[in-house]
């Protein structure tokens, strides 16, 4: 068994060290589309992240030199900097253009991505035609869901769009203070969130118009607090990328749990970066797939939910984008909702499908706000109805009755760290209680020892258990752990879970860490849990390993420090 584990670990280390060694400087070409994506004379730039450079095997000195050079190069051209996602908005130099300057920056090898700060446009606009019914609610089983749950006034959902008619009878009782991200002002500071286009009012009603009030229409959830972020000051609704994404991050920072944006530009990396930031804040981000009938199979955002539009009859709406980059579908054809004139009208687009999905996600999560973003995503995704190939429809079309039922049935319990131990290296100090303690100075510490063919290795085992009071079927296991490297060299920190069927550890993830810094692992394991859970002891075993992929020289050290483990076990009744 030890030989099998060592082979697995050695393979993982080599892939981490050498997998990113080659750098390609392929020329990029951005092509604007009037009324869809237009140039603004600005770029959004993200330097290479430390973790990527550690995994390339760079030294601390090389990393710091490269990072300083990348940021200094942007200093004279930076208009705005967003530290939460490490993105710079920079001006294109006179005499250059978006494509030339983007390639100039990317060819330095110092940046993760460089893209235009596109002016994006709403991907579906309300019209004034009357429409007699909201056909989509029966399809997604909303009435059945409402028999169980209609939403909660303690739950806030947000829409990033063209503003909202604050006096609309189906919206006015739900509003919380909003934000104008184009001006960078909250309502309290004079930020205007009144709708200048009509798109934003329609979108807001799709997800959360007040229900059961004898008038108008109903959103997918009835009783949420609604936060609106106006990202445009243009009557046409066009908004810069950083206003859209910065507004979404503001919403997450200010209490919104689900946030959607119904704009073009879904396939650019910033949308994924913002989704990851929003998830780190304990919220979730949804973005429209687009109305250009494209196959979006060239990317997949890890944490942003991309929404396509379905039509009556559970077919793909003819205009909707599709493919492996689309997470799921929701109704988006002739969706009756609130309008800027105070009335109601239908509209079609992934702009409508996205807030419908937002409302369904909010309805599900508000059942149990103790669910983590991963927990509720897994419930929402697994509750979708299949309406065709996953290569087109992703997880399928949303079913809020199923997702609400699953949320009600979930029973998420906190687990315990029951043991820690040295796997590789030498014990320095610490105990089980130190691992669980939130004090940064209390931890379980191991110094490294050389491992032939691998490098200098320090590793610890951690066993998590769930309480005897747990009832139902275990559906997911989540563990959060912070590991740092108090030694003198950058390291790769890896996390594994023990598979009792194969008697080997399986890698769950890896992080690059500089000396004195730390990395947080947040894992949610929800498939084939029988491989990992020992039912007799109610336990899951993991291994955390710190590796310097070379023999240490004199004065160099490698040490692993583990703390902040917070396991959770979710059961379905």
Going by pLDDT thresholds of 50, 70 and 90, the confidence category of residue 13 is very low
Cα 319 to Cα 326: distance, rounded to the nearest angstrom? 14
Six-digit token string for 327: 């997470």
- Which of the 8 DSSP states describes residue 68? H
Q: Average pLDDT, stretch 541-552? A: 87
Residue 81 CB partners (closer than 8 Å, separation 6+): 87, 88, 89
Percent share of the chain, pLDDT over 70: 91
| Mean of per-residue pLDDT scores for the chain | 87
Q: Average pLDDT, stretch 160-184? A: 96
Going by pLDDT thresholds of 50, 70 and 90, the confidence category of residue 40 is very high
pTM: 0.70
Task: Output the pLDDT for position 489.
Answer: 83
Which one has a higher pLDDT value, 111 or 52? 111
Task: Output the pLDDT for position 146.
Answer: 86
Task: Output the pLDDT for position 56.
Answer: 81
Q: Which regions of the chain carry the CATH code 3.30.70.80?
A: 31-117
Q: Given 2.60.120, 2.70.50, 2.60.40, 3.30.465, which CATH number is that of 415-572? A: 2.60.120
Q: Given 3.40.30.10, 3.40.50.300, 3.40.50.200, 2.40.50.1070, which CATH number is that of 136-410? A: 3.40.50.200
**Fold for the domain defined by 31-117:** Alpha-Beta Plaits (3.30.70)
> Are β-strands 455-465 and 416-424 bridged in parallel, bridged antiparallel, or unpaired?
antiparallel
Going by pLDDT thresholds of 50, 70 and 90, the confidence category of residue 442 is confident
Task: Output the pLDDT for position 437.
Answer: 67
Cα 381 to Cα 376: distance, rounded to the nearest angstrom? 8
Task: Please determine, for residue 412, whether its predicted confidence score (pLDDT) is greater than 70.
Answer: no
Q: Which regions of the chain carry the CATH code 3.40.50.200?
A: 136-410
Q: Which regions of the chain carry the CATH code 2.60.120?
A: 415-572
Residues annotated as part of the active site: 161, 199, 351
Task: Output the pLDDT for position 74.
Answer: 95
Cα 307 to Cα 354: distance, rounded to the nearest angstrom? 5
Task: Output the pLDDT for position 264.
Answer: 93
pLDDT digits (tens, 9 = 90+) for 304-341: 999 999 999 999 999 999 999 999 999 999 999 999 99
Task: Output the pLDDT for position 572.
Answer: 61
Task: Output the pLDDT for position 27.
Answer: 65
Which one has a higher pLDDT value, 556 or 339? 339
Cα 572 to Cα 273: distance, rounded to the nearest angstrom? 32
Least Cα distance to 421 among 505, 524, 542, 502 occurs for: 542
Six-digit token string for 470: 């747990």
Cα 61 to Cα 68: distance, rounded to the nearest angstrom? 11
Task: Please determine, for residue 548, whether its predicted confidence score (pLDDT) is greater than 90.
Answer: no
Task: Please determine, for residue 168, whether its predicted confidence score (pLDDT) is greater than 90.
Answer: yes
């Amino acid at each position: 068994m030890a030989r099998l584990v060592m082979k697995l670990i050695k393979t993982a280390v080599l892939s981490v060290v050498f997998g990113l060694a080659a750098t390609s400087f392929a020329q990029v070409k951005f092509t604007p589309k009037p009324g869809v994506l237009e140039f603004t004379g600005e770029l959004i730039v993200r330097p290479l992240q430390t973790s990527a450079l550690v995994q390339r095997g760079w030294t601390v000195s090389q990393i710091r030199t490269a990072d300083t050079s990348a940021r200094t190069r942007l200093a004279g051209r930076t208009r705005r900097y967003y530290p939460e996602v490490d993105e710079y908005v920079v001006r294109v130099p006179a005499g250059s253009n978006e494509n030339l300057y983007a390639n100039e920056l990317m060819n330095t090898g110092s940046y993760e991505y460089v893209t235009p700060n596109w002016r994006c446009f709403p991907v579906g606009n309300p019209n004034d035609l009357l429409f007699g019914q909201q056909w989509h609610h029966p399809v997604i089983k909303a009435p059945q869901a409402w028999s169980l749950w209609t939403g909660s006034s303690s739950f806030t959902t947000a829409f990033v769009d063209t503003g909202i008619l604050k006096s609309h009878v189906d919206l006015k009782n739900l509003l919380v203070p909003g934000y104008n991200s184009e001006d960078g002002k909250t309502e309290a500071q004079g930020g205007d969130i009144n709708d200048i286009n009509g798109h934003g009012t329609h979108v807001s009603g799709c997800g959360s118009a007040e229900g059961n009030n004898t008038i108008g229409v109903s959103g997918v959830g009835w009783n949420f607090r609604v936060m609106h972020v106006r990202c445009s000051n243009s009557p046409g609704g066009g908004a810069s990328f950083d206003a859209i994404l910065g507004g979404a991050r503001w919403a997450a920072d200010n209490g919104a749990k689900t946030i959607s944006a119904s704009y073009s530009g879904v396939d650019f990396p910033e949308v994924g970066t913002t989704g990851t930031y929003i998830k780190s804040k304990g919220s979730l981000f949804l973005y429209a797939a687009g109305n250009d009938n494209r196959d979006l199979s060239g990317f997949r955002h890890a944490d942003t939910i991309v929404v396509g539009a379905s039509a009556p009859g559970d077919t793909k709406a003819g205009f909707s984008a599709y493919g492996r980059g689309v997470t799921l579908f929701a109704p988006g054809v002739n969706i009756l909702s609130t309008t800027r004139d105070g009335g109601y009208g239908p509209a079609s687009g992934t702009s409508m499908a996205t807030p419908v999905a937002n409302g369904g996600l909010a309805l599900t999560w508000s059942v149990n706000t103790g669910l983590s973003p991963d927990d509720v995503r897994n419930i929402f995704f697994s509750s979708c109805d299949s309406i065709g190939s996953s290569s087109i429809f992703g997880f399928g079309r949303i079913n809020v009755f199923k997702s609400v039922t699953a949320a009600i049935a979930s029973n998420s319990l906190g687990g315990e760290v029951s043991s820690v131990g040295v796997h590789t290296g030498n014990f320095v100090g610490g105990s089980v209680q130190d691992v669980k303690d939130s004090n940064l100075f209390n931890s379980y510490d191991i110094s490294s020892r050389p491992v032939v063919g691998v490098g200098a290795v320090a590793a610890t085992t951690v066993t998590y258990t769930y309480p005897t009071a747990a009832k139902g079927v275990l559906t997911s296991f989540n563990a959060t752990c912070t590991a740092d490297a108090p030694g003198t060299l950058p390291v790769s920190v890896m996390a594994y879970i023990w598979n009792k069927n194969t008697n080997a550890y399986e890698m769950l993830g890896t992080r690059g860490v500089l000396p004195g810094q730390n990395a947080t692992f947040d894992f949610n394991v929800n498939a084939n849990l029988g491989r990992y859970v020992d039912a007799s002891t109610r336990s899951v075993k993991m291994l955390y390993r710190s590796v310097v992929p070379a023999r240490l020289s004199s004065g160099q050290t490698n040490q692993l420090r583990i703390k902040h483990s917070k396991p959770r076990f979710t059961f379905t009744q």
